Structure formats: C-alpha cells, structure tokens
Amino acid sequence: MPFYNQEIAAAFQKLADLLEIQGTNQFRVRAYRNAARTIESQPKSVTDMINEGEDLQELPGIGHDLAAKIREYVDTGRIRRLDELEREIPEGLSILMKIEGLGPKKVKALHDSLGISSRQDLEAAARNGEIARVRGFGPKTERKILRGLSTVAAHSARIKFITAHEIARSYLERLTALEVVRRAVVAGSYRRKKETVGDLDILVICEEPGLVMDRFTGFEEVSTVVSRGMTRSTVILRSGLQVDVRVVPEESYGAALHYFTGSKEHGVAVRKIAQRNGLKINEYGVFRGDKRIAGRTEKEVYHSVGLPYIEPELRENRGEIEAARHGELPRLITLEDIRGDLHTHTTLSDGKNTLEEMVEAARSRDYEYLAVTNHSPQVTVARGIGSRVLMEQLREIDRMNERYPDITILKSAEVDILKDGSLDYPDEILRHLDFTVCSIHYHQHLSREKQTERVLKAMENPYFSIFGHPTGRLINEREPYEIDLERVIEAAREKGCFLELNAHPDRLDLDDIYCKAARDAGLMVAISTDAHSTFNLGYMEMGINQARRGWLEPGNVLNCLGVEDLKNRLRRV
C-alpha cells in the first residue's frame, strides 16, 4: 500500500508530540520533528525512494534509526514506538500542542488539573474561564489559547501545496496511464498554485467514463467513496483530503477548466463582462442565446469577452482583468529565468551536504552562481559558526572558485538580526562577504512597532543585503510575527536592501500579496531555497509558483541577474 509523504510525516510529528509530553530528551524530540519536516517537504515520494533502493540517510536530518522507522511505516503502516506511546498517553493531547501558547508542560498541566484531553474540552474550559484559574496560566494565556483554537481550525481544512502536489502528481500519472484517458488536469486552487489547498478537482477527457470512475474510486489510499457517477465521483483519502474527478466533453474542456480553476471572484468578474456583451459563460461553454460560441480552450473563453489569456496564478481578481484589458499583464517569471540560488547551507552548520556537493548540484542545474549562507553564532540550534570558522570557509570558497571556473561561489552568511537590531557578526567580518542574508530566528513575539524598528535599525548597517524569510511564518504551523512590511519595503528600497522570497515549502515567505507590494514599490526580490541539502535546491520551483502569484517578472528578481550585475546591485559600500 503506497503512503504519501504527508502521512509518514504526520506519524513522526505525532511521535515527537507524545515524546515531548512524556518529557523525553529534547534532542530526540527535535530529531523527530526535523524528520517530519524533511519528509513532508520532499518533492519526491519517500515510498518511491524506498522502492527504488535509494538511501534515506541522504535526506537532511535522517540517520540510521530514523530511516529504519520510515521503512517500518512504509512496510506496515505503523511505527511500534508510536503505538506504545498512544497506549500510554491520551491521543488528543498531541493535537493540543498545535495550538499557539501550549507546549508539552502546559498541555500536561491542563490534563492533570482539568482533565482536558481534546480540542473540545480545551475550548469549553477556555470559554468558561477555567484555564485562567490554573496555576501558571492566567487570563492572558486563556485569550491566547482561544485565538490559537480559531487559527488551528482554519488551518486544519487545508494542506500545504507540496503535499497536494505529491497527491495530484500521483493521481495524474495513474489516470493518464489508462488508454481511454486522453487528457487529465488538476484545477482549483492547486492549479492557481496557492500555498495551501483545500481539495483536488481533476478534469478528465476520456472515452469510457465508467472504467475511469472504477479505477479512481478503487485507489488504495481511498478511505471513503462519497459518490460515484458517470460524470463525477468524489472520494476522501486516508489523510482526509477530498478528491473529485469530473469527466467533461472535448468541446467544453476550456470552459470547464476556467470554471473549476477559479478563483470564484475572478470567474464572477469575467462572467459580468460576458453579460454586458450579451453572453453567458458556465462550465459547459460560452453561449449567445442557445448557441455555443466558445469553450473548447481557455483562450477561446477569454477571447470571447475581449481579453487575452490570463495565467492561472493571476486569477484572484486583484487587478489582472484591468491589466489584461490594457495590455499590461506581466511576463511571469519561469524556472528557466533563474541563474543561481542565494540562500543555502552546508555541513559546516546544519546542512546535510558538503560545500563541494552543493556546488556540484548547482552546476547540474546549470546555475551561474551559488551563495553559501551558513548560520551565524546566535543560532546555536543550527550549529551557527563563529567568525574564525566563517573566515576559514571563505578561504575554502576561494579555492573552490579556482577549481570550478564555470560557476561562481558567492561568499555569504545567514546573519541573525539580534533583538537590538545589531547583526550577529562584527563589521570587520561582514566586509569580507559578497552579501548577507539577514534573518530573525529569536524574539519573534515583539510588538509590531518593536519588531519593525529592529529590522529598520539592522538595515542601517551597510552590510545588510537581503532580509531573509521576512515574516518568520511556517505554513499551518506558526503564524507570522507582527511586523509592518510596508515600512520595511519602503526602507529597503531607499537603502538599497532587498527582501527574500524563501522557497522552502513550509515558508513561502514572502507571500504573494507582499511579493506584489514589493514589485509595485520597485523593490527587487531574491527567490532562494534555503536549501539544507542538494535535494532542497529543487524547492526553487515552489518559489517560482509563489513569485508568479505575486506578479513577479524576471526584472523583479535579483537572481535573474548575471553574476556581475548581481554583485553590483548587492554592493552598498
């Protein structure tokens, strides 16, 4: 039975939660959490890797013991250690740890004091004012828990894009393998490349709908068949994700694709234009009266209302229709426009691969340059390196640049922005770097004003180059910290700094709204993978998706520049 990465990751995350509640060594807990994040973020199916004989220990943070547990889950659908913990600890407690403000000690305290073992118990106790009376909590924590409950409820309905991508790719491969299927595509928010996806809508053109529906509803990962028909079937997967398949006729394919891709707001706006021109648009086609005049392709649908084709990523009714009407649609960036990666880690800090291995992987992608940005000393959890070690690395980079004339290895570091706005290396060290990626990893709960001022002060340093993962969010896990990004964007433009679009699928930070805000302000963005392994360099595709949703063109992106232009643009002193 095949398992998706999300299912394996969820088992490891739950194992970490229960171990933490139990009070197990924090290093072991962190190892399981890092493993869960690595598994979920892999662009390739871990099940396929095992079946193809690949070494799981090549993945970041995966050693012999963790690799054995992954194989155990893929082989049996269980992990013995997790089964043991589930017998010892109430299952609902691990769910409570996903709520902001509740760590393992507080979860255990609430369970011991009030018998809370589910989200429903927690909400009832919070609304009744019982939590505030528990020692170590208080009214402020109670209010924070209530806010966290609403956030978890909103997140639980949607999965990260990379998880949806694995499932969508698997379904398309199996459906298109059927000889009777001529075309299949996933529509909806997945096709618009939203960072989270609520469900999957698959449109199919085929010759024998009954055969397709039998195959679709019979896939091993299907938990429930909600409905089965000749033109539409709906299933729920083991993970809880809903997947729909709709069979559409060739002459309606473009109209159906437009309709089911959305967004709702974009579709309504297009239909209003059609109505003003005496037309009707639905999933079956474009009609003048009873006569179908278009609908075979999406281009026909747009052309019928006097518009050029609009890329799916732009269809959010955020000005794309006006831009189309005036011939001002952006030439959206593609993966082929990227000339290098500006944020990567090696074994010198918390990376999985050596400098040489990362360089070889970048060369295999035909990159013109690669920046090495190991952590600064403040980030002890990521084995941040001191000034002496950093200088040794810079000398190694000089030697590597002599060995590899076809690629430039840029000297950089991910430098922590300290609480007072200073940087985590002294200027006499920073001046030896080609540029810096400056990030926040600690003190994320400062007020909006203090957090903003912290970053603005850091930008005063002439060695500040790129603001890394600017909101600190982890999708469906951690909310963004409070910060006034409009002020940050304006200050960056004025001072010659830049913002990062961190392409790691857990982050995708900047979001699409602020990508467009940066573009509109004339501020260039760096799309970087934050790669901690050679595998992670593949996250660039995720960053491109987000950039396209943010209307970014090659001219808006730093790492579409050639290496000399890039260095000149980054140089402030």
Delineate the domains of the chain, giving CATH numbers in brackets: 5-155 (1.10.150.110), 159-247 (3.30.460.10), 252-325 (3.30.210.10), 335-570 (3.20.20.140)
Tell me the mean pLDDT per 10 residues along the chain, length 573: 86 90 86 90 88 89 92 93 88 77 82 87 89 88 81 72 95 96 97 97 96 95 95 94 96 98 97 97 96 97 98 98 97 98 96 95 98 96 94 97 97 98 97 98 96 98 98 92 97 98 97 98 98 94 98 98 97 87
pTM of the model: 0.87
Question: Of the candidates 370, 353, 365, which has an alpha carbon nearest to the alpha carbon of residue 407?
Answer: 370
Q: What is the pLDDT of residue 140?
A: 85
pLDDT at 1: 59
Nearest to 313 by CA among 43, 544, 41: 544
pLDDT at position 544: 98
| Cβ atoms of residues 528 and 559 within 8 Å | yes
Q: What angle do CA 168, 474, 548 make, to 5 degrees?
A: 55
Tokens of 79: 């992990």
Q: Are 100 and 144 in contact (CB under 8 A)?
A: yes
pLDDT confidence of residue 148: 77
According to the model, what pLDDT value does residue 363 have?
A: 98
Indicate the residue type of 193.
K
149 membership: H or E segment, kind and range: helix 139-156
Short-list 497, 521, 489, 493, CA closest to 573: 497
Dist CA 465 CA 105 (whole Å)? 40
Q: Quick one: pLDDT at residue 527?
A: 98
pLDDT for position 152: 66
**How many CA atoms are closer than 13 Å to the CA of 17, on its beta-carbon side?**
22
Please give the structure tokens belonging to residue 362.
């970048």
Helix/strand/coil percent split, the chain, to 5: 50, 15, 35
Say how far apart CA 366 and CA 217 lie, in whole Å.
42
d(Cα 451, Cα 471) in Å, to the nearest integer? 10
pLDDT at 94: 77
8-state DSSP, 375:
B
Alpha carbon distance 447, 127 (integer Å): 26
- Residue 402 neighbours by CB distance under 10 Å: 8
